[in-house]
Chains A and B, each alone.
Chain A
């Protein structure tokens, strides 16, 4: 890496790989919060379950990644789904079982599970 142009190249390549560009036509990104607060609340089994389920179902074009803390530590473990053309969906208080359900319902069948989302957390 010697120039800003090199940096730009990595940026563009990675943005495509991350499934995060707003104007993309397909590609789903799932992130699990893996800061200390998330890990303490049980994020690791969630991340493992999501990764397993995505590979078991042989889902193409789905990126599973870890990330840091988004702030609502009280609702950890948190998992977010970025799908093209939609607001990201934030799932809270996840466990491995719920995470597997989200993969089946939301990722495969395109039906977000509203009751697990942050908007429902305190209802």
Chain B
């Protein structure tokens, strides 16, 4: 028996005679025979169908295309186009009109995308990251080709200088200046490194770039290597990013296969090779000197600077280190020109910045906006505002090294200098939105808890100082703090900032200082009134049952996990504060809203 490749079902519409469908079936038989397909396609008559209101419905399987057939010529087209060539005949599709789907909103009209501009994320979500050809199809490796065949290393650095690109990893140091330092060192072994450690809690910008467009980073590192005279690069990435590591490795292998890494790239005498180094996920290993120590195979601890890595870096030779997102901008700058890049953003902060938007915000996700976009635009327009009708309280930017931006400063343009001037910092791009239900002292405690955990312990100010600060915060949030504690906090913070060995310690007090700057009243409420205004700090909370509202239904008592609630049915119940663990279950269960938290 011959295997039938396709089935054609001919269904009579409700108002069509069966002779009409016979005619169409005969037409199919003749046409199929002419095309030599009579053994491959079977034509079947089916019961009338109500799928199309008028005309004859012909369904072609396995594709499942629904056609509306009105004349024998339509059959000819279905046979010749669909059955012979495998192309669906759009014109004849049921209900098909040129307008079909025209009321589907295109992505560019979705509020989330309107204010975004994608440079670093240009290919993310468009190309297949595991296929180098698709990267090349979007002008990938063209910048490297241009640099190697048309530009001198000095011209590359000059172009980067004109672009105004600053590091996206935190400090915002001008990328070209770093490259120039390293380029000016005597010829010899030099290294190019990429910082893909991304340790800020809540940040995932770099992961997305590496998962969506790994070749852009590889291409940029090769360009940097050419600019400074290096032949070897390392990408330091945390092992906690398995998808990114895998795609990066595939990308490196493909680039090697194509001769885009290796010896004599683009027929020149430029050689460049690249290797991945996995980190174990310690925050301090994102700091440049600790990162290099870790690549060398030693314990990831920082060392004093100077000497700066551009002079004495990995294995004691000149090394540049840039962040993933910084690199992702480089090929675009070379291709579209420094003037184009410098035309985006503000006077001192050029280009765009990627943010990982999280916390109390509707559209959590990844956004890329021109520098100078205001926080309000990011939170309200792109982010869609705060869910559940809650009020914006602050945004925490820059992770454990950063600070918070209160409501009165929500119109601050997001660029390096504006952020520094209000006691926050760009950081690597974590942006956590905080609403009225969060306690700012508790937020500060969260970040300090993180730095205490992540301190490598090498220098005393960071190892001991941050721990003491955390203890004070714990006292304050548990209601045992005093006004003097707040002064002590400030003193300690200043001391640690000025004496810690590396950026981790130097910036660790920032979340405390910044919340103190804008929310000192909340700290005071904790120490003076022993009250947590947001109702977060458990030790300062008390749940009470209103005598007037309680109907004595017993629901709260039944749901209390520690049996802290008692009473007589139909009479007001009471909560025993000594047993209560402040879990809040009763408040949620009370049908009369009789339980309140203070």
Contacts and interface: CB of A to CB of B under 8 A. Distances in A.
Interface stretch (B204-212, B437-445, B453-461): B204-212
B66 interface: yes
A106 B125 CA distance: 20
A74 B94 CA distance: 35
Contact of B100 (A20, A33, A68, A110): A110
A112 B104 contact: yes
Contact of B124 (A17, A70, A112): A70
Query: Which one of A13, A68, A117, A119 has the greatest number of beta carbons of chain B within 10 Å?
Result: A68
Contacts of A4: 142, 145-146, 149, 266
Contacts of B73: none
A35 B64 contact: no
Contacts of A71: 112-113, 116, 121, 124-125, 365-368
Contact of A58 (B62, B129, B244): B62
A73 B365 contact: yes
Tell me what chain A mostly uses at the interface: helix, strand, loop, or mixed.
Answer: mixed
A117 B241 CA distance: 30
A7 B148 CA distance: 14
Nearest to A76: B365
A39 to B, nearest CB: 7
Contacts of A2: 259, 266-267
Tell me what chain B mostly uses at the interface: helix, strand, loop, or mixed.
Answer: loop
Contacts of B108: 87
B332 interface: no
A7 B101 contact: no
A68 B137 contact: no
A10 B141 CA distance: 11
A10 B137 contact: yes
Given A7-B145, A36-B204, A56-B62, A18 B134 contact: yes
B65 A108 contact: yes
Interface residues of A, number: 53
A56 to B, nearest CB: 6
Interface in A64-123: 65-74, 80, 86-90, 104, 106, 108-112, 114, 117-119
Interface in B107-139: 107-110, 112-113, 116, 121, 123-131, 133-134, 136-137, 139
A111 B95 contact: yes
Nearest to B129: A68
B151 to A, nearest CB: 13
A39 B243 contact: yes
A67 B127 contact: yes
Nearest to B384: A122
Interface residues of B, number: 68
A111 B64 CA distance: 13
A58 B243 contact: no
Interface string B360-379: 00111111100000000000
A109 B93 contact: yes
Given A1-B259, A26-B87, A109-B65, A87 B126 contact: no
A119 B101 contact: no
A68 B208 contact: yes
A24 interface: no
24 contacts: A4-B146, A4-B266, A11-B136, A13-B133, A15-B137, A35-B124, A35-B208, A35-B211, A66-B128, A66-B130, A69-B124, A69-B125, A69-B212, A69-B366, A72-B365, A73-B366, A74-B362, A87-B107, A88-B106, A89-B101, A110-B93, A110-B100, A110-B101, A112-B101
Q: Which 7 A-B pairs have the closest CB atoms?
A: A68-B212, A119-B105, A70-B125, A87-B106, A112-B101, A60-B86, A14-B137
